[in-house]
Chains A and B, each alone.
Chain A
Amino acid sequence: MWRFIGIRLLQAIPVILAVITVTFFLVRVAPGGPFSAEKAVLPEVKAALEAQYRLDLPLFQQYTAYLGDLAQGEFGPSFKYPGRSVNELIGAGLPVTAELGFYALLVAVIIGGLAGVIAALKPNTRQDYIPMTVAMIGICMPSFLLGPLLVLIFGIYLDWLPVSGWGDIPGDKILPAITLGSAYAAYIARLSRAGMLEVMSQDYIRTARAKGLPEWQVVVKHGLRGGLIPVVTFLGPAFAGLLAGSFVVETIFQIPGLGRFYVQAAFNRDYTMILGTTVFLSTLIVLFNLLSDILAAWMNPRLRAQFGEQ
């Protein structure tokens, strides 16, 4: 197990380095300098600014200097707003986005998992078709459509829930969490259905039934553990999707999180801000993928045995 974790950790390092390198050079070759949009500035001012942002150094030295900054946890200053830094924005936005993502994941896992398991217990009956059709709708209904529709129905016509904001009015976290989580609930429903169907036909389930265990114990104690492995493996990619989804959901509901900052930085062409945020988000995603792989391996005795023997 430790060997497996070690190998995966080592594999993550080149990925993160690749992300940093590609992002850095992409941003540097981007047309238009950071100050080109502004009025002509005095040469001295320009030189001072360039020195401040290290633009006077050769490209490769800029790169190594940036790596040095990153190693110290310094993601760089903002081009557009002097005095503000990427770290500050991450500090302000991350807790909000993390909370939103957590609720969304909760919605996804609980609703999706439940629907999938229920459907798998009686395949090809109404108990299977209805949740799975709803899941298909969930997959096909993108968040940028579902969000406005939910706002229209529950926020405007019915006037039950607030239409925007985060933590200002009670209940304003419900619609964003559902909007962000629903697509993943749908995927998880399909995954857990497929996983449970496969597991429930295994010999050890028959053994458990033959022992005389009540059906719910067979499902909960023996079925779920194997049947939910695909769901756990999916959580890593789902996390990446949730972050990207937060771009849209935070824009729709005007939530001051990382996703909204990222989109704003993209619009303002605030290169250092984009660079810093990309590096930060990417590292987070890579680490999350790692975590979900490890968790899945830990849940799967076959994989554990394979690495134990080596």
Chain B
Amino acid sequence: MTTEIITDIAEAEQGSSLWHDAWLRLRKNRLALAGGIILVGFSLIALLTPWIAPYAYDAQNLELGASPPSAQHWLGTDIFGRDLLTQIMYGGRVSLAVGFVATSVALLIGVTWGAIAGYVGGKVDAVMMRLVDILYALPFMIFIVLLMVVFGRNILLLFLAIGAVEWLTMARIMRGQVQQLRQQEFVEAAISLGLPPRTIIRRHLIPNALGPIIVYTTLTIPSVMLLEAFLSFLGLGIQPPQTSWGLLISYGAETMEEFPWLLIFPGLALTITLFSLNFLGDGLRDALDVRRSKD
């Protein structure tokens, strides 16, 4: 099936028809399209938060305390009288940033690792992929908890730790792609022209393996965001005064009996985002005709 894509690309020559077809197919998938639109919207809101948030991030109103949704505070306020909508907007900045940055780290390591292993082949490949196999077997959730305990709860480390965990599948996918592409005539032609491996990997292999990479990236972001929220919920992730959706959910869960909106709205924000990412990922997979590689 992946060979189909590859031959598609090879035959299409201009290369644009695959992307055009994919776009036509994606446009028909309403759920995926809605997911994409919601994500763009949330990302824009996150970018513009400092200018469009209804209240200042640290504005308190202790007299007001926790109040249910009202005209002044659309999503209500927390026990310190802070506007929940503002909190969720700032929390979303952190949650989305963790999702995108950590996924980029994973993407960079995974694609490079997989491309080299698949291209060089032989013993180098065997050693590199054995290492991936061994790392795969490690219980990473526990390791991340350990890392956060040992080195303190630092957001930069969180990015790195999560990214370092998620690159493994990416490396496997990339290697498989590259191994198949290497058999193709245009790569053999590039080799016989004497192009250096760096150029071949960058100009010929990575662009042609883009479909599965895009799909898997879209599906990695939600699992990264879940991981961040999980750690923050346990108190091992994002620390106050910063906030994230996971942290807001954890505060909300503490006071949910009296103030259920403090749990429900941050929960909705996270769930809608994860939903959108998953639907978009599924849609892209169908549109680009990529086989399920994650399960």
- Number of B interface residues at 8 Å Cβ cutoff, please give it: 43
At the interface, yes or no: B256 with Cβ under 8 Å from chain A? yes
Residues in B neighbouring A137, C-beta threshold 8 A: 275
Segment 137-153 of B: residues with Cβ below 8 Å from A: 137-139, 141-143, 145-152
Q: A92 in the interface, Cβ–Cβ < 8 Å? A: no
A residues near B292, Cβ cutoff 8 Å: 194
Distance between A17 CB and nearest chain B CB, rounded to angstroms: 10
> Does B98 belong to the interface (CB within 8 Å)?
no
Give the size category of A's interface with B.
35 or more
Determine whether B9 belongs to the interface, using a CB cutoff of 8 Å to chain A.
no
Q: Is the CB of A15 within 8 A of B134?
A: yes
Nearest CB of chain B from residue A220's CB, rounded to whole Å: 23
CA distance A148 to B279 in the complex (A): 25
- When each residue 281-301 of chain A gets 1 if its CB lies under 8 Å from chain B and 0 otherwise, what string results? 110011001000000000000
| Cα separation A252 to B256 with both chains bound (whole Å) | 12
The answer to whether B47 has its CB under 8 Å from any CB of chain A is no
Assess A274 versus B270: contact at CB under 8 Å? Given A251-B234, A282-B138: no
Q: Determine whether B42 belongs to the interface, using a CB cutoff of 8 Å to chain A.
A: no
Q: B252–A247 contact, CB under 8 A?
A: no
- SS class, residues of chain A in contact with chain B: helix
Beta-carbon contact of B141 and A244 below 8 Å? yes
Contact A281 to B278, CB < 8 A, known contacts A14-B134, A26-B147, A269-B149: no
Q: Judge whether A142 and B229 touch: CB under 8 Å.
A: yes
Contact, CB under 8 Å: A234 / B141:
no
By a CB distance below 8 angstroms, the chain B residues around A230 are 295
Closest B residue to A187 by CB, please name it.
B295
CB proximity of B218 to chain A, nearest CB, Å: 14
The answer, among A19, A145, A151, A286, for a CB contact under 8 Å with B271, is A145
Known: A136-B278, A140-B274, A144-B229. A23 touches B139 (CB 8 A): no
Instruction: Please give the residue numbers on chain B whose beta carbons come within 8 Å of chain A beta carbons, in ascending order.
Output: 133-134, 137-139, 141-143, 145-152, 222, 226, 229-230, 233-236, 246, 249-250, 252-253, 256-257, 260, 263-264, 267, 270-271, 274-275, 278-279, 292, 295
Q: List residues of chain A with CB under 8 Å of any chain B CB.
A: 11-12, 14-15, 18-19, 22-23, 26-27, 29-31, 136-137, 139-142, 144-145, 147-149, 151-152, 156, 187, 190-191, 194, 230, 234, 240-241, 243-244, 247-248, 251-252, 262-263, 266-267, 269, 274, 278, 281-282, 285-286, 289
Known contacts A136-B279, A248-B233, A281-B142, then 6 further A-B pairs from the complex at CB < 8 Å, ordered by chain A residue = A26-B150, A144-B249, A148-B263, A151-B256, A247-B145, A266-B234
